[in-house]
Structure 1
Amino acid sequence: MYVIITYDVAEERVAKVHKKLKEYLIWSQNSVFEGEMTKSLLKKCLFELENIIDEDVDSINIYEIENPKHLKKSFYGVDKSFDDMFL
């Protein structure tokens, strides 16, 4: 399935969350990661994130797209696909 994860976490945890998500997905914009992953891999990723974030102040949003053929991605302005810069 295709997954998009966005996050809003306290400044002191941003680097840790970013590093963890980069292990699983592609960094597409500030605080946004996306890519293909299995449900079990998503579960593992979320478990690891739960050990990093403070659930009383931080938030993580997960968008699961079961059929990526139904996903249309558009952007306006500068495309900030950061990972593309390093391939």
Structure 2
Amino acid sequence: MYVVLVYDISGNENGQKTLGRVYKICKKYLTHIQNSVFEGEITPGQITKLNAELNKFIRKDLDSVIIFKSRNERWLDKEFWGIKDDALSNFY
């Protein structure tokens, strides 16, 4: 399945440390496309592993992670407004 993952990590109570850990975990499974946004193909088993790894660090009262799921990237219309990063050239 194709997913877009976004996260919001609070700056309170070791937020920078949590932010770094969340970034590294997401980077193992998905492609970083913008600040706290990742996307890519992932299996249901990988989503389970990703969730388990993130749950070790996400502070339920301060942070959030949202995953948008699609069966396939082709069902997702994507538009870029503003700067288009060349690192993302395979996505548009």
Same fold (TM over 0.5): yes
Q: TM-score range by the shorter chain?
A: 0.7 to 0.9
Secondary structure of 1:23's counterpart equals: helix
In 2: Cα distance, 1:46 partner to 1:14 partner:
15
In 2: Cα distance, 1:6 partner to 1:27 partner:
10
- Structure index of larger Rg: 2
The question of 1:6 aligning with 2:11 is answered no
In structure 1, the partner of 2:50 is: 45
The question of 1:20 aligning with 2:31 is answered no
RMSD of aligned C-alpha atoms?
1.5
> Gaps spanning 5+ residues in structure 2: where?
none
Runs of 4+ aligned structure 1 residues displaced above 3 Å come to none
**1:51-73 deviation per Cα after TM superposition (whole angstroms, max 9, x unaligned):** 01101110000001113221111
The question of 1:71 aligning with 2:84 is answered no
Return the TM-score normalized by structure 1: 0.87
Aligned residues: 83
Change (3 A) 1:80 1:59: farther
- Structure 2 letter corresponding to 1:26: T
The structural deviation recorded for 1:50 is: 0.4
- Structure 2 letter corresponding to 1:46: N
The structural deviation recorded for 1:22 is: 0.4
In 1: Cα distance, 2:84 partner to 2:65 partner:
22
